[in-house]
Structures are given as C-alpha cells and as structure tokens.
Amino acid sequence: MKYDVVIGLEIHAQLNTESKIFSLSPTRFGADVNTQANEVDLAMPGVLPVLNEQAVIKAIKFGIATDCKINNRSIFERKNYFYPDLPKAYQISQFEYPIVGAGILEITNEKNELKNIGITRAHLEEDAGKSLHENFTKHSGIDLNRAGTPLLEIVSDPDLSSAKEAVIYAKKIHALVVYIEICDGNMQEGSFRCDANVSLKPRGTKELGIRSEIKNINSFKFLEKAINYEINRQENILDDGGRVVQETRLYDADKNETRSMRSKEESNDYRYFPDPDLLPVIIDNKLIQNIKDKMPESPYNRLKRFIDDLDLKEEDANLLCSDIKIADYFENIIKIGNLKPKLVANWIIVELMGIINKNNKKWQDNKINEQDFATLLQRITDNTISGKIAKQVFAVMWDKGDKPDNIIKKEGLQQLDNDDEIKSIITDIINKNPAQVQQYKDGKHKIIGFFVGQIMQQTKGKANPAKVQEILKQQLS
Amino acid sequence: MHTKSIKELHKLLTDKKISAVELAQHFIDRALKHNPSLNCYINILSDEAKQQAKIADDKIFKKEGSLLTGIPFALKDIFCTSDMLTTCGSKMLSDFIPPYDATAYKNLKSSDMVLLGKTNMDEFAMGSSNENSFFGCVQNPWDLDCVPGGSSGGSAVAVAGGLSPVAIGTDTGGSIRQPASFCGITGIKPTYGRVSRYGMIAFASSLDQGGVMAKSAEDCAYVLQSLSGYDKKDSTSMPEDVPSYTESLNNSIKGKKIGLPTEYFANLDDDLKQIITTQIKEFEKLGAIIVDISLPHTDLSVPAYYVISSAECSSNLARYDGVRYGYSAKNPKNLEDLYLKTRTEGFGDEVKRRILIGTYTLSAGYYDAYYIKAQKIRHLIADDFNQAFAQVDILLTPTTPTTAFKKGDKQNPLEMYLSDIYTVAVNLSGLPAISIPAGFHQKMPVGMQLISPAFCEHRLLNFAHMYQAQTDHHLQTPSQVPQEKIL
Amino acid sequence: MNIDDVRLSADLSKITIDDKKIDSYLTDMQDILKFIEQMNAIDTDNITPMAHPFDLSQRLREDKAVAQIDRQILQSNAKNIENGLFLVPKVIE
C-alpha cells in the first residue's frame, strides 16, 4: 500500500546564556564532570529555582523572529518522572501556557515548492544531566553539568511529509536561532537536537496513524536517515497487517536503525502541575517592543532585500545571510564606503571567504575591519588602484593588518592617473615600436592590446587602464 | 533565667551580669537534663553554641551588638544548617549534612543569635502531633502523656519547657500555631513570602512558611524582625519592606474592629467557647469593637488543603532517591530497585500516604476533579478573607478544636487532619496569623488565633502584645519541668 | 479508588506497599478521598484556580554565573561516587 508520511519535529535549542535557567551555575560545555552543578542543580533539600532573565528574552526573540504569538502570561509546570539524569525527579517545563504560541514558517521543500510549516509553540524548559555508561560494568555515572541548561523546545505541527522536508525545516530553524544569536547551534555538543514524531497513514486518508517518537538526533544527516529508517520500518509493519506501537525510539547511528527505549516508557503519566516555587511569567507588550527595537532585521527579510533591492544573486545573498555578523559586515562596508553592493559582495565572498577557507580559519578570525575594507574598495572606484593591485593590497592587509592607504603608499602602488605622465610613456612606446603602429593603421585594431601590455609592464600595472586606452587611441590615429 | 524575656536577657548581657557563653551554657545544661524526657531536640549543639556565644560576647564587649546578640534560640530541624545534621525528622535524611545555610538561619546568625540545637518535628513536617518523627514523639511538658502538637512540636516544647527562650518553626497548615496552642506559648506564622523558604526543606511549597515561637508576642516581634526579609534566592519571597514590628507593639487598639467568624465557633466545644468568649472581653476592655463575620467556605478548607499540600509534597519529595544524599538502600538489584527500596524504607507511613494521595490526585483523569477543584476552592477561601477584611481589622478564632490530646489517641489519619480545621484556611490564603495562650482547660493550655490581612504582622503583634500586657496566661509555666533558678 | 489505583500511585511514586498493608492504605485513602470530595458540594465553574496565595509575577534574575562550592563538598552526602560521577545501577536505555 502507499502511505502518506506525517512528521512533526520537536527541536531542543540550548539557549546560549552564561548561567543556567534556574541556577547560578555556568553553562560552559566540556567542564570536568559535576563541576558546573551546584546545590540547585543537584536538587538538594530546600533549594529553590530563580528564573534567568536572558532565557526569557531569548525565547521572546525567537517568537519575534518567527512572528509567533508571544504569550503575555506563561506558566512553568513540573513534569514528574524518575530518571537518574533528572535529580528533582521533575523537569521544570511549560505545558498549558508556553511563552511562545503559534506561528508559521515558510520553507522551500526538496521539490522546490513553497510550503508553510506550522509552529505549534515554543516553550522554555531545563535540560537534563547525562548518564555515562562507558567505563562501568554494573553502574552508570551521572554528570549533572548539563542539568538546568536553558532549552527552547520548538514544536512543529505535523506538517512535514518527508525526511528531506524535515531536514530543510530543521536547517531553517537552526540558521534562524544562530542568526538571532540565541543558540550557538553546535550540534556535536548537543546545543541543537531534534526529536521526530513519525507516523504513516494510507495515502489520501485523513486520520493520523500511530506515531513513534525518535529521540535526541544531533545531526541533520542522522535526522534524515533516522526518519527514513522509521518510515521504512513502519511501512513494513503496516504492509504485514501489523500495528505500530506508540513508543519512544532511539536512533543508533552506527547501525543506522532505531530501537525502542523501554526505560522511558514505564511511567508516562507526567502529572504536570504549576510549579509552586515559580510565579507566572508576565511579559508586557512594552518589553516585547523593547526587544523588537533592539533586534536585527529577520534573516528572511534581509535575504529578500539583498536579492530584490541590492540585486544580488540568491546564492550570494544566502551566503551573506548565513551569519548575522557577515551580513552586518557586508552592509556596513556598503554604507561606509558608499559602494556598489555587488562589488562588496564579490569581494567578501571571493576574496575574504576565499582567504579564510584557504587558511582554514573561521569568520571570527577575520581582523580586517569594515572601515579598512571599505577604504580598499573605494581606492578601486576612485581609480587610485586597479582591481588587480587591490588584491595585492588585500593580501597584505590580511597578513599584516596594515591600513590599505599605508600599503599603497609604502609599496608605491598608486595608479598612474596623470595624463601627462601616461602620455609621455605612451609616446615613448609608440616611438619604439613603429612596425606595430603601422599594423594598427592598416586596420589591425586588435594590436592595441600589445601596446596596453607594454605600458602596464612598464608601469608595473599601475596605469589606469581606461586612460591608457583612451590616450593610446588618440595618439595612434 | 529561662523564664526571662528577650529584653530582660538582653539587659543582663549588656549589663555584664551574665555572658552569652554562660547564657548558652545554662540552656544547654537544661536541654541536656530535660531532653531525655521531653525529646524536643534531635540534636543539641553544645560546642557550636559556645562558639557562636563567644562571637556574641566579643560584639557585646565592643558594643557592636544588637538586641538579639547572644540570645539563644532553637531551630526546627527542617532548616538547613551547613556542616550540621539536618534530618527533617526523617530516616531519609538521618545522616544529611547540608553544605549551605537556610536564609532564615543565616539571618538569625547575622543578628548574632546563638543556635542551641535542632528541634524535633513530624517527618517532613507532615503531622499534627509529632508522633510521625523518626526520632520519636515529643512530650508535652504540661502533661507528658499528651502530644505537643505538630509539626513544630519540638520547637514548641523547647520554649514551653524553658529549654530555649525562643524557637523557629514552620507552618504549612498550622504547624506553628497548633503546637503553640497545645503548649501554651505564642507562635506567629507570617504572610507567605515574608520569610525566605531557601534552605527550608519543602513540604508544600505554596503553603510553607517559617515563623517564630516564643513566650510572648513581644519576643516574637524581635525575632521575626530579624528572620523576615526579601531573599533573591526565593522567587516567592516578597520584596515589600519589613516594617518595624516593635515600634507599633504598644499602639492603642481602641476603636479597632475584631471580627469573629461564626463558622469557627459553630462546632466548638462549649468549654473552649466559654474560655475564648471570656478572653474576647479583654479586647473589649482595650476598646476594640467585636463584630460577627462570616467566612462561608471554611468547611472546605481542610479538603482543599489536603489536595494541594499532598500534590505538592508528592512532587517535592520525589528527589529523595538515594543517589546524591540521604538514605540509600543497600545492594539494589537495579535502578528501579534502588528507588523503590530507598523510598519505601526511608519514608514513614504518613509521608507515604500523602505522597500516594498527591500522586493520585495529580494523575491523568483526576487532575481537574481534585487539583484544579482545590485551587478554585482556594480562591473562594481567599476571597472570603478579603471580604472580611473590608469590614474588620483583624479576625479572632480558636486555634484548635481541642486542647492537646493523648498520644496514640488519633489513629485515623482523617481525624488527625481535622485538628487543623481552624488553621489551614490561613495558609491557603497566604495570610499571617498568631496563636496566643488564652487560658487553660482541665490544666491544658488553650490557644486563641488572630488573623490579619497580608503583610500586617505588626497588627497581629500589636493586638497580641496589648492583650498579653493585661493578662498572664502566657506567663504560666508547666510544673512537669522543674524551673530551677540560676540568677 | 481501588487496589489497582493504590498500586498505580505507588508505582508512579516509586514506593512499594506491602501486600499486608495495602488494604489499610486503601481504606485510609478512600476515606480521605471521600472527605476531599466534599469540595464537589459547590459549583466552581466560573472561579479561576489559584496556584499561589498572591497574584504576582515571576521576578527575573540577571544572567550571571557563579562558581559552585567544591564538588567534593557537594558530593559528601552521596553514598556512591567515582571520579566525580554519582553512580547508580546501570541505566538501560
């Protein structure tokens, strides 16, 4: 039988705060075990949670950037279950009243169709610790460094209909949370993890099938593979006339399969109720407006503007909008130097990104400031130097961090722009090459390239090529 | 000595009639002598007390002390004290030594008060008789066969027996006021949020509140002043300024209106009603006006209280799993077995019963019928009080339906729950209330409760103090504990 | 409420009720629930539930990390520690 695939994603984005959501412990990744887990994270008797302001602000930023509803009143509730990585035996989460309500995200799917994916909600909660199984035979070791790290759980509607589509959606959310700087997006370190709810139903029917939930997928590649494995598994079950069991499954990347997590199934009555240690979070519209005012333009808007207004190629615009720092850099250079967007885009993408990649560096390693970059490009447009010379200057800027004007001056790279000087060089060359002059006069106009080459050689490329052409033509005719 | 007020002790200290070390030693000696029969302390801290007293003496010598410098106190064993055993009356925490201080304790320490010991209590503060302590029942000094009330029974007896001039308790459904009433002392439960809950081991978070138990309202005022205040570590702590509780103690209450909620007297034992009615006349003598008032949802307060407190407790006590601290079952077969054995062996019957009830009322299919319903009733109860306080300044009620009962008398948990019938509505509404001695019935103390609007502890203390200034019930001491004199 | 409800609540609470005691637990709990159900005597349809004594909003704290007290001290109450990890019987996922 043919089936429709129905997928919903729950994305857990760790918010990049300095301290945990309810305790003062640092959230830094990679510290020695249990050195970032204080008495609150250890759920010692009598300790209490206090909410981190930045966690709330970052959740609101997500809501603003996705145009989701931001709820003026949200409630933290306790989700009760026993698990060794959950020291209180309840997770503080949001249930009935999440901080961010419904919204819509538009994606271009693998068939190149525009599709609206509903965001059901996004809520704040605390991350759990980690159970470590290596190095022990009869035991597991519990590290609570991660316990209490703020998470934004972004829940989609079951609108996704293929593994590829799910990945496109997840990538778009990933790019967004990185762009608005609420999450570092580091998937290896678990800063961005996906749970996928997958179910099948006979093609064209309405009623949803029984779903399984694949937990904790931490790469886009695995997300695609895990979903496809799960689709396949369920298809086989249904084709054989069986029933899919509603359960939580774990994706094993080594074996490329999902398997049932029995341990999580035992108690599924979470007994949510409002956490009496915390009060309702009240967000007034003024606060939302304040955050909005300080927020950068949404990446989608910016992308559209780069393509439509700045006339960039979609590919280039995408590249520039992949990181807010790059996009800002790009626009600031345009503004400072009053430059053409295409020129700046080319220089950033070809030259700057080229040199970064060649040296195995990251964007953060770029030390050329916007002012210097703008000055360099201005020297091209004001004909001080040619584009070719500019590349030389740029290389020195990258290596030595010197200012472009200093480099041009020091190395004597200034373009020859003086009419008289160029004229005398040209006269000299014409006089030395009578044969070629004759060829030109006989109508072989292509020979002009020979003269330009000679002139450039003599001026070490500094002569203004446009001027050279102009004066050459005058003198030859 | 042990019958003296804080003000008198303060004068002896500043006049150098006695040192803080000697004062502490006096109470430690009394505690060591009488605790074997009263069992009000789980842990007597002789060495620590002397150390703290030395620091206090230093401050007194340098004239840097406050009124509370060098005054000894007892602390309910529900408050975490760093490097000192904190058991919460439970086997589960019978070896627990916290690495941090409860804010309430820290506040008293910074006033240079001297900690004598940690007091006995019902396990995790669940109980009204102190019979639920892992460390054995506390005896009521007025009649050793009677219970002292609970859950702050140890604190009440430490004060009533003269084993400490003042004690700190907690009150979730009456746990300060009911034992204060049973033991003939004064006990105040402040407004929810007045005293930080940080480091105070949670029973029911939206109801728990620390407070003071002492011989008089005046003593309560001094100590509550230091105990109270905003704490950034407790999200439910109130940022409101704490007014001076002592300045207004002697304000006239002439013309003030005292409301008598009819529901609180309707089923009261005739003898007790008689006693309290007589005491109301004392307030009239002071010029107060007595009016009848109605709190129509009173009879639903105990049901709502048991739903809410049990639900919160079932979640608050889930962290005791034998992994990070506390009792841990030996040789578990697997993880599930560790949890089951630890919790089954570590908790007493009453605690288990409440965890089960709480879990049940929160579970799928019952949440709305029990938990949400109780929260709605809670709203109605709070509204009753709001309406009452639009008409009167303060409410006066009995604290308990009976005087202290005999140990083992109440076998049925429900019967025990009903002994909180006059106290739980106050917790549900977050209001402050004080229990003051109002006389005796068959030689056992009778308590009377005053309730005020939120953040009006000063009013409670003022009314109670004016009453105590012209009566002597609070000055009576139990003959069961010999009152030897030192000075 | 029946025996199964008691068992389910016990299971969710990770508490074992001795077979010998389960009847008395059931009786007590039935009594308590019956008592609690007095609440049903009044209509509360238009009443909002009150989770907290006062209608206040959550305070937010500044995002500033503070180093914890020494791990060894924090773990001094634990019975089973190895290389800074809390040990539990093997977790099967």
ipTM for the predicted complex? 0.96
| Dihedral class, residue B248 (left if φ above 0, else alpha if ψ from -120 to 50, else beta) | alpha
Query: Quick check: helix, strand or coil at residue B434?
Result: strand
Active site annotation includes B76 = yes
For chain A, what percent of residues have pLDDT higher than 90?
Answer: 70
Burial of C1 (0-12, 13-18, 19+ CB in 10 A): middle
Chain A closest-CA separation from residue C47 CA (Å) = 17
Name the maximum alpha-carbon separation found in chain C.
58
- CATH superfamily for B6-252+432-475 is Amidase signature (AS) domain (3.90.1300.10)
Query: A142 and C86: CB-CB below 8 Å?
Result: yes
Query: B325 and A44: CB-CB below 8 Å?
Result: yes
Residues in chain C: 93
**Cα A181 to Cα B436: distance, rounded to the nearest angstrom:** 58
**Mean of pLDDT values over A175-183:** 93
**Cα B86 to Cα B83: distance, rounded to the nearest angstrom:** 9
**Cα A295 to Cα C50: distance, rounded to the nearest angstrom:** 36
User: For B413, which of C28, C69, C91 is closest by C-beta distance?
Assistant: C28
User: For B198, which of A46, A51, A88 is closest by C-beta distance?
Assistant: A46
**Cα C71 to Cα A53: distance, rounded to the nearest angstrom:** 27
In chain C, what residues touch A80 (CB-CB under 8 Å)? Answer: 12
Angstrom CA distances, A347 to A4, A306, A356, A373, B411, stand at: 46, 16, 12, 9, 86
In chain C, what residues touch A48 (CB-CB under 8 Å)? Answer: none
A65-82 pLDDT, tens digit each: 999 999 999 999 999 999
Query: B87: nearest CA in chain A?
Result: A45
**Cα B160 to Cα B447: distance, rounded to the nearest angstrom:** 13
- Quick one: pLDDT at residue A137? 85
Query: B100 and A39: CB-CB below 8 Å?
Result: yes
pLDDT at A436 over 80: yes
- Quick one: pLDDT at residue A389? 87
Chain B closest-CA separation from residue C46 CA (Å) = 9
Give the pair of three-digit tokens for residue A156. Answer: 């989609």
Chain B closest-CA separation from residue C32 CA (Å) = 6
Mean pLDDT of chain A, nearest integer: 92
B257 touches chain C (CB under 8 A): no
**Cα A90 to Cα A84: distance, rounded to the nearest angstrom:** 11
C28-64 pLDDT, tens digit each: 999 999 999 999 999 999 999 999 988 889 999 999 9
Query: A274: nearest CA in chain C?
Result: C51
Match 């200093």 to its residue by tokens.
Answer: A406
**Cα A373 to Cα A16: distance, rounded to the nearest angstrom:** 31
- 3-state secondary structure string, B157-226? HHHHCCCCCEEEEECCCCCCHHHHHHHCCEEEECCCCCCCCCCECCCCCCCCCEEEEECCHHHHHHHHHH
- Quick one: pLDDT at residue C93? 66
**Torsion of the alpha carbons at A326, A328, A329 and A332, rounded to the nearest 10:** 160
Better pLDDT: A446 or A187: A187
Query: C25: nearest CA in chain B?
Result: B353
- Quick one: pLDDT at residue A453? 85
Query: B232 and A45: CB-CB below 8 Å?
Result: no
Burial of A242 (0-12, 13-18, 19+ CB in 10 A): exposed
CB count in 10 Å sphere of residue A314: 10
At residue B211, φ and ψ (nearest 5 deg) are -165, -175
Query: A282: nearest CA in chain C?
Result: C57
Query: B205 and A276: CB-CB below 8 Å?
Result: yes
Yes or no: say if A28 and A37 are a contact pair by the CB < 8 Å rule: no
Give the pair of three-digit tokens for residue C71. Answer: 């791990």
User: For A89, which of B318, B362, B367 is closest by C-beta distance?
Assistant: B318
Give the mutation candidate from B234, B321, B339, B372 for the A interface (greatest A CB count, under 10 A): B321
pLDDT at A175 over 80: yes
- Quick one: pLDDT at residue A386? 83
B340 touches chain A (CB under 8 A): no
Yes or no: say if A34 and A145 are a contact pair by the CB < 8 Å rule: yes
User: Which of B384, B455, B420, B473 has the alpha carbon at shortest distance from B172?
Assistant: B420
**Torsion of the alpha carbons at C13, C17, C22 and C24, rounded to the nearest 10:** -80
CB count in 10 Å sphere of residue B251: 14
Determine how β-strand C85-89 pairs with β-strand A139-143. Answer: antiparallel
Choosing from B90, B151, B196, B435, which is the catalytic residue? B151
Give the pair of three-digit tokens for residue A80. Answer: 């009760």
Query: C60: nearest CA in chain B?
Result: B235
- Quick one: pLDDT at residue A428? 85
> How many interchain CB pairs under 8 A, A with B?
95
pLDDT at A274 over 60: yes
Beta bridge partners of A281: A74
User: For B324, which of C29, C73, C78 is closest by C-beta distance?
Assistant: C78
User: For A138, which of C74, C84, C90 is closest by C-beta distance?
Assistant: C90
Give the mutation candidate from C4, C14, C59 for the B interface (greatest B CB count, under 10 A): C14
Give the mutation candidate from C11, C16, C57, C68 for the A interface (greatest A CB count, under 10 A): C68
Active site annotation includes B175 = yes
Active site annotation includes B151 = yes
Burial of A431 (0-12, 13-18, 19+ CB in 10 A): exposed
Chain A closest-CA separation from residue C75 CA (Å) = 9
Give the mutation candidate from B84, B103, B235 for the A interface (greatest A CB count, under 10 A): B235
B425 touches chain C (CB under 8 A): no
- Quick one: pLDDT at residue A470? 82
In chain A, what residues touch B234 (CB-CB under 8 Å)? Answer: 48, 50
Query: A36 and C68: CB-CB below 8 Å?
Result: yes
Query: C50: nearest CA in chain A?
Result: A274
Chain B from 348 to 377: CB within 8 A of any C CB: 352-353, 355-357, 359-361, 363, 370, 372-377
- Quick one: pLDDT at residue B1? 61
B94 touches chain A (CB under 8 A): no
Chain A closest-CA separation from residue C40 CA (Å) = 20
Angstrom CA distances, B391 to B50, B280, B291, B377, B456, stand at: 50, 18, 9, 22, 15
Burial of A260 (0-12, 13-18, 19+ CB in 10 A): middle
Choosing from B90, B175, B226, B435, which is the catalytic residue? B175
Query: C52: nearest CA in chain A?
Result: A276
In chain C, what residues touch B353 (CB-CB under 8 Å)? Answer: 25, 28-29, 32
Choosing from B19, B76, B155, B189, which is the catalytic residue? B76
Yes or no: say if B168 and B187 are a contact pair by the CB < 8 Å rule: no
In chain C, what residues touch A84 (CB-CB under 8 Å)? Answer: 86, 88, 91
Angstrom CA distances, B158 to A117, A298, B120, B161, B218, stand at: 66, 65, 9, 5, 18
Q: Which of A279-283, A377-381, A430-434, B202-206 has the lowest mean pLDDT?
A: A430-434
Residue A443's pLDDT band, with cuts at 50, 70 and 90, is confident
Chain A closest-CA separation from residue C71 CA (Å) = 6
Fill in the DSSP letter of residue B405.
P
Chain A closest-CA separation from residue C57 CA (Å) = 5
B63 touches chain A (CB under 8 A): no
Chain A closest-CA separation from residue C23 CA (Å) = 24
- Quick one: pLDDT at residue B486? 45
At residue A335, φ and ψ (nearest 5 deg) are -70, -50
Query: B80: nearest CA in chain A?
Result: A46
Chain B closest-CA separation from residue C34 CA (Å) = 9
SS3 content of chain B, % helix, strand, coil (to 5): 40, 15, 45
Give the pair of three-digit tokens for residue B311. Answer: 């639900």
**Cα A187 to Cα A1: distance, rounded to the nearest angstrom:** 36
pLDDT at A182 over 80: yes
Better pLDDT: A267 or B258: B258
Query: A48 and B339: CB-CB below 8 Å?
Result: no
Nearest 5 degrees, angle CA A401-CA A404-CA A409?
115
Burial of A405 (0-12, 13-18, 19+ CB in 10 A): middle
- Quick one: pLDDT at residue B483? 65
Fill in the DSSP letter of residue B368.
I
- A195's enclosing H/E stretch is strand A192-202
pLDDT at A262 over 70: no
**Cα B133 to Cα B372: distance, rounded to the nearest angstrom:** 31
* Domains delineated in chain A: 3-285 (no CATH), 296-410 (no CATH), 419-476 (1.10.10.410)
Sorted by sequence, the CB contacts under 8 Å of residue B357 that are 6+ apart come out as B306, B310, B314, C9, C29, C32, C33
Q: Which regions in chain B score pLDDT beneath 50?
A: 486-487
Give the mutation candidate from C7, C11, C13 for the B interface (greatest B CB count, under 10 A): C13
> Among the residues of B319-449, which ranges form H helices?
335-346, 349-362, 367, 373-389, 413-417, 424-429
